[in-house]
Amino acid sequence: MLVLRPIRESDFPALLNIAHESGHGFTSLPVHEELLQNKIARSMASFEKEADHPHDEGYLFVLEDTETGDVVGTSAIEAAVGLDDAFYHYHLSKVIHSSRTLNVYKAVDILTLCNDYTGATELCTLFLRPQFRQKYNGKLLSKARFMFIKQHQERFADTVIAEMRGVSDEHGNSPFWKWLEEHFFSMDFPTADYLTGIGQKVFIAELMPKYPIYVNLLSKEAQAVVGEVHDNTRPAIELLKSEGFTFNGYVDIFDANSTVEAQVENIRTLRESQVKIVKIGNNQGGSPYMVANDKLVDYRAAVVELSVDAGSNELVISQAVADALLVKEGDSLTIATI
C-alpha cells in the first residue's frame, strides 16, 4: 500500500534522490544537501507547531510504499507565501491603443511584475517517480493535501495557488528566460532557477524589468510559451482544473508558466468529502476512495477500495488499513472519491 505521511529525518537520502531525478525547473527542490535538510527540519517543526493562522509554516509530505519502505514521491504545502521573501509573478493583462482620427484600435497583451499572491497558501513540490505514475498514485500525492487543509483549515489561507512547471527543453533552457537573459540578465535559466530555489532572490528585484513588458515585443518563441506548461505537468494541471482551480493571468517570472488558484470552499474534494467513524471489520471492497485520518504529526492518507454506506456515519475498514492509517475503532476518517 502507498501511504502519504509527513516527512522525517530518515527520509533525507530519498529526498535527495528525488531532487536529482526531478531535473531542471523544479525550483522548490534544489539539489543542495544543506537546504534539503533544512526543509525537512522546517517541515517537522511546522507539523509540531501550534498555529491558529497561516504564517511561515511549510508542510512536506512523502509517499511511502509500506511493503518496501521506499519513498516514491513527495508533495508539499506552503501555508502563506511571500511573508518573509517577496513572491513575484507577472500578471498578463491588456492595454488598448486606439485612435479615432486614424481609425486604429489595438488590444495588446502586457506582463506586469507584481506580488498579488502574498499571503496565499501554495501547493508545491509535487513529484512522483516515473515507475509509480499509475492508477491513483498521482492523485493521492496531490489531492491528499486538500484533505489535510480541510482538517486543519485554520493553518491555511482562503486562497490556494499552484505554480505549474513551464516549458523548457531537456537541458533546462526556457524560451521565455532566453529573451529575459538576452536583454536584462547574464545567467542561464538553470542558474536563475537554482538561485531562487536556494532562497537567493535579491537579483530579481535588482535586475528584473520594472515596467510592463509588451508581449508582442518578445521573441516569437517566448510569446508561444506564455501561460503554457511543461508536457510532464499537463496531468497535474488537468487534475487541479477538475478540482476547481482556474488560471487568472498570473505567470512565473522565469519561464512564464501558468499559476492556477482556487478559493478553499470551491475545491471539489473539500466540498464533497465526508467524515466517517471507524469500525474495524471485513470490508469486501468496491470503489476506490481517498481516506485520511485527522491527525497532524501522524497524518496519514491512502487510496483504499471500499464499500461505503452513504446512509451510515460508520466506515468499516480492515485492521490492516486501520494500522496503515494509524486509527482505531471509534476514530474519525475523512473520505472522498478519488
Alpha-carbon distance values, 35 to 16, 199, 247 (Å): 10, 9, 31
d(CA 103, CA 74): 56
Handedness of CA 111, 247, 192, 200 (dihedral sign): positive
For this structure, is 24 an active site residue? no
- Pick the catalytic residue from 24, 89, 152, 230: 230
Q: How far apart are CA 189 and CA 35, in angstroms?
A: 20
Q: Give me the active site residues, please.
A: 230
